[in-house]
Amino acid sequence: MNLYLNENEFIRTDKPLDISIPIHNKENPVLAWYCDPIKIEPVMNDQFVGDVNLGGSVNFRNIFINPHAHGTHTECVGHISKEYYSINQHLKEFHFEALLISVDPETIYNEEFKAEDQVVTPDCIRQAIREFESQIPNAKALVIRTTPNGDFKQSKNYSGTNPIYYSKEAIELINELHFDHLIVDLPSIDREQDGGELTGHHTFWNYPSNPQLHKTITELVYIPDAIKDGRYLCNIQITALENDASPSKIVLYKIENH
2 pLDDT more than 90: no
For strands 181-184 and 165-166, give the pairing: unpaired
The CA–CA distances, whole Å, from 218 to 100, 144, 196 equal: 14, 10, 19
**Could you give the CA distance from residue 205 to residue 210 in angstroms, rounded to a whole number?**
8
76 pLDDT more than 90: yes
pLDDT digits (tens, 9 = 90+) for 160-204: 999 999 999 999 999 999 999 999 999 999 999 999 999 999 999
What is the rounded average pLDDT of the residues 67-83? 98
In terms of residue numbers, what domain contains 179?
2-28+70-257
Q: What is the mean pLDDT of the chain?
A: 97
217 pLDDT more than 90: yes
Best CA proximity match to 171, nearest among 188, 159, 158, 187: 188
On whether residue 47 sits in a domain, the answer given is: no
CATH number of the domain within which 238 lies: 3.50.30.50
On whether residue 60 sits in a domain, the answer given is: no
* pTM value > 0.85: yes
Counted domains in the chain: 1
On whether residue 160 sits in a domain, the answer given is: yes
On whether residue 49 sits in a domain, the answer given is: no
On whether residue 191 sits in a domain, the answer given is: yes
On whether residue 82 sits in a domain, the answer given is: yes
On whether residue 55 sits in a domain, the answer given is: no
> Would you say 216 and 87 are in contact if contact means Cβ atoms under 8 Å apart?
yes
Q: Quote the Cα angle for 187-188-190, to 5°.
A: 145
On whether residue 218 sits in a domain, the answer given is: yes
| Helix, strand or coil, per DSSP, at residue 39 | strand
